Structure 1
């Protein structure tokens, strides 16, 4: 069974502003993660740690870029597993608003890693990141 998380959120902000929040590492620090080696280039690899508490090393590779429409990258935890998942951010203009759809695909690949890596944990995390942190950041 494929374990996907899909989070949709309508943001009161234009697509260009949301795209910049998703792809500019200086802006990302304000609402997402501090990813010092992030660069919006095809096949560029990046690494980051979540703030506070247990710090898991995250690794990603940019797999698709359609400016102001779609960003797709891999998501893995190299210290725990060779398995990878995919994160896709899709933006759609709806009048003055932007509809964001985040899809995290392949979470069954992390089942063996324990409770912190279950679909429910990712679902809650992404709802907070997209529905609260990103929303508050771009709507201010």
Structure 2
């Protein structure tokens, strides 16, 4: 049994603001990734590369579950490196006008052996930066 990566931050913004930032591809590119083919619909696949133009890692996801203003669950994979998939779940919990954003990344051990860039530590650091800095700064501005 594996231990998922869990990262959570309380952000000074209402759930609806964070949901829009998380699910609107025009907002996503301001704080997350530029995902041109993102459609908020169960079963839809999306593809993107890390910012900076190097296009080193092709990311692919498929939306598994949507509960508006509460939960977004999707796969996370690197089809150029492996056929293995992991699961990322975003949960939004309202707290007095603020929102607890909880991200869980399950199955990270599926990327074991793909190299340093796919380590648990690397993902943990990445998600902490994405939630604790990028998203937080974007919606609190």
Please give the range of the TM-score, normalised by the shorter of the 2 chains. Answer: over 0.9
- The answer to whether the Cα contact below 8 Å between 1:45 and 1:59 also exists between their aligned partners in 2 is yes
Q: Give the alignment's TM-score, normalised by structure 2.
A: 0.97
Alignment of 1:91-110 (within 5 A): 91-110=92-111
Q: Give the alignment's TM-score, normalised by structure 1.
A: 0.98
Secondary structure of the equivalent of 2:29? helix
Aligned counterpart, 2:63:
62
Shift in Å at residue 39 of structure 1? Answer: 0.5
Does 2:76 match 1:75? Answer: yes
1:12-36: per-residue Cα shift (whole Å, max 9, x none)?
A: 0000000000000000000000000
Does 2:136 match 1:123? Answer: no
Q: Cα RMSD (Å) of the superposition?
A: 0.9
Structure 2: unaligned runs, 5 residues or longer: none
- The answer to whether the Cα contact below 8 Å between 1:3 and 1:119 also exists between their aligned partners in 2 is no
Secondary structure of the equivalent of 1:40? coil
Aligned counterpart, 1:28:
28
Structure 1: unaligned runs, 5 residues or longer: none
Shift in Å at residue 121 of structure 1? Answer: 0.2
Q: 1:24 to 1:63 in 2, by over 3 A?
A: same
Secondary structure of the equivalent of 2:113? helix
Shift in Å at residue 55 of structure 1? Answer: 2.1
Q: 1:109 to 1:7 in 2, by over 3 A?
A: same
Aligned counterpart, 1:14:
14
1:40-73: per-residue Cα shift (whole Å, max 9, x none)?
A: 0010000000012562000000000000000000
Determine the C-alpha separation between the residues in 2 that align with 1:6 and 1:106. Answer: 12
